[in-house]
Amino acid sequence: MIQSKIFILFISLISLTSFGQSKNFLDRSYLETKAKVDTLVTPDKITIEITIDEEDTKKKKTAEEQEQDLKRALESLDIDISEDLTLVDLSSDFKKYFLRGQKVLKAKTYNLIVHDAKMAGQVLVKLDQAEISNVNITKTEFTDRENLISQLKAKAVLKAKNNAEAMLKPLDIKLGPLLYVSDLQMRQNYLSGKVSGVQIRGMASVPPPPAPEMLDIEFEKIKFTAEVYAKFSI
């Protein structure tokens, strides 16, 4: 019985101590501030969607013939098609045409990955020369995204600290240690398919290239933004 009372008293003391520490934390003088940083980066991963369709070609080439034209065009640019070209979809109107007694027409869709606007322009020209016109730039990305986000968060925290020190300087008050910090915002805008001066949807929308092997295009940069909330003791 005595041991039980001692145990209850011990727990009560711990609770009071914890409450006192929590209250002391809340009673501290502190300064709150927010800070935001952003940056623009050039995309280094561009996804180009390429569709070859037996129904679209003027020379009525088969999907297999167009596929060989596609591979030759890309290999002429030293693109590793085993690594950067993937088949997304293979479709066929077999049922529809079989019932009508007509020839089956096939279509294939590929995704091609390139790493800069210059190569993207060269690809568009080569595909135009190969009479492959159903081309669409579907996504622009920055591959070192996670590292960039970490850097922006660190800069935002440092900016919050500098802001706090600047506010206290006229009062001759020294900034204390950081009590709390939290992410408020981490945003990025992928400007998928946006190219300066060029609408990418079929080569008919692309102006004639200034040189046989070059189409001068430039992708809009991707904007990353980080914002933090910080609380410092004073």
Q: Report whether pLDDT(133) > 90.
A: no
Q: What integer pLDDT is reported at residue 201 of this predicted model? A: 44
C-alpha distances in Å from residue 126, one per residue of 2, 129, 233:
91, 5, 62
Specify the pTM.
0.69
Instruction: For 54-164, list the strands marked E by DSSP.
Output: 85-92, 106-114, 134-141
C-alpha distances in Å from residue 155, one per residue of 147, 174, 227, 228:
13, 21, 10, 10
Burial of 175 (0-12, 13-18, 19+ CB in 10 A): middle
Say if strands 178-189 and 106-114 run parallel, antiparallel, or are unpaired.
unpaired
Tell the residue number behind the tokens 């919050």, with chain if given: 160
- Could you tell me which residues are beta bridge partners of residue 140? 46
Each residue of 190-201: pLDDT tens digit?
554 455 544 444
- Quick one: which of 27, 118, 131 has its CA closest to 70? 131
Q: Which two tokens stand for residue 156?
A: 């935002």
Each residue of 23-73: pLDDT tens digit?
555 567 899 999 999 999 999 999 999 998 877 666 678 888 889 999 999
136 contacts 199 by C-beta, under 8 angstroms: no
Q: Report whether pLDDT(176) > 90.
A: yes
**Measured torsion, CA atoms of residues 83, 88, 93, 98, in degrees rounded to the nearest 10:** 50
Each residue of 96-127: pLDDT tens digit?
444 445 556 678 899 999 999 999 999 999 99
